[in-house]
Amino acid sequence: MTHYDSLADEACVIYYRIAYHVLQGKDLKKAIKDEIRETIYETALTNEKPACPPDGFVVNTMRWVLYWMLTSETLEAVVIGAANEGYDTDTVAAIAGGLAGLAFGFDQIPKEFVNNLLGKQELQQLSAQLANLVNQ
């Protein structure tokens, strides 16, 4: 969304389609597998670490996001694994963590993550407002 490029477009479409399917109740890993078949990201299905650095280039970032989501069993493993990999860790962890959060749910976010959020009360208010808009 922040970079006009067909590669960024493809990554965003895949991300949003995965998110949509997860919100509709589909298993995260199944949604990923269905959405990346016949794309440049299909190699992620091997569950092998990508042969590129997680350096912020959209294709590399998405490959690492997919790797962490396909090889991790908990939200904590996704976020910590991505954050500890190095390079552009905040981007990879944020993107992977967003989808993992949708899949695992708020209750599976480790309490120490939630308790240390800056602006926690404001985020809670905004999320309640968003939920009200969705439910109208």
How many Cα atoms within 13 Å fall on the side-chain side of residue 70? 24
Give the DSSP letter of residue 48.
P
What pLDDT shows up at residue 2? Answer: 58
Whether residue 68 lies inside any domain: the answer is: yes
pLDDT digits (tens, 9 = 90+) for 2-25: 567 788 888 899 999 999 999 999
What pLDDT shows up at residue 8? Answer: 83
Tokens of 32: 């990923």
Whether residue 135 lies inside any domain: the answer is: no
The helix/strand/coil state of 109 is coil
Segments of the chain with pLDDT less than 50: none
Domain holding 92, by residue range, is 6-104
pLDDT digits (tens, 9 = 90+) for 91-101: 898 889 889 98
Q: What is the pTM of this model?
A: 0.82
What pLDDT shows up at residue 3? Answer: 60
Token pair 């999320």 is found at 127
Q: How far is CA 116 from the centre of its chain?
A: 20
Token pair 């298993």 is found at 27
* Distance, CA of 8 to CA of 11 (rounded, Å): 5
Domain count, the chain: 1
Whether residue 47 lies inside any domain: the answer is: yes
